Amino acid sequence: MLMQSVQASDPELTKDFQVPAGINAADIDGTFFTSEALRNVTPNVASPFATVTTANLVAPAKAPFLAVDGLGVSMALLQFPPGTVNPPHTHPRGTELLFIIEGTLDVGLVDTTNKLFTNTLYKGDIFAFPKGLVHFQINNDKYKTVTALGGFSSSNAGLVRLPNTLFNTSTPISDKVLQISFGISGDVVKALRAQFA
């Protein structure tokens, strides 16, 4: 019996960098390798959630950073106004290294045995979130904003935010599935759907 191993990861490049379709390699200059996606970003202080600005192959808020295609790297700027959270989520295609630029941030991750690992990070600390594991961050400071930089081992690590994934899908998950899974009533499911709509 032949066994095959399959992994979801960035393909290995066999050249220095990937030239996007429709672009002549001779026309590429230093601007191709530069992203301004993280420049002059202001956090949304009205939201209960951290402001996350990405510089990756599919960055939605800014132009995609095409230079990282096939390189297996990308970044994100995370800004946590007081009391904000980056809700439980996963990156199915990449490991994340989180570097604290300013402030104090509480973080946690859950492994596949359901063990929770938490720590409080300070300016200059780095925390590793392994690919695919559920993790979160919260700024428990009432007065100071936390700024962090996330580095990813993928040009598009992907993002699965659990609250949105479970309660705000394009085609809703059955109320019955959610009620049984979480041991909650239909009214709670409806309230959660409304909150994440």
Residues at the binding site for Mn(2+) are: 89, 91, 96, 135
Q: How many CA atoms lie within 13 A of 120 on its CB side?
A: 5
- DSSP per-residue letters across the chain: ---------PPPPSSSSPPPTT--GGG--GGGG---TTTT----TTSSB-EEEEESTT-SSS---GGGTTT--EEEEEEE-TT-EEEEEE-TT--EEEEEEES-EEEEEE-TT--EEEEEE-TT-EEEE-TT-EEEEE---SS--EEEEEEESSTT---EEHHHHHH--SSPPPHHHHHHHHT--HHHHHHHHHHH-
**Residues marked as binding for oxalate?**
86, 91, 96
Neighbours of 150 (CB within 10 A): 23
**Residues marked as binding?**
86, 89, 91, 96, 135
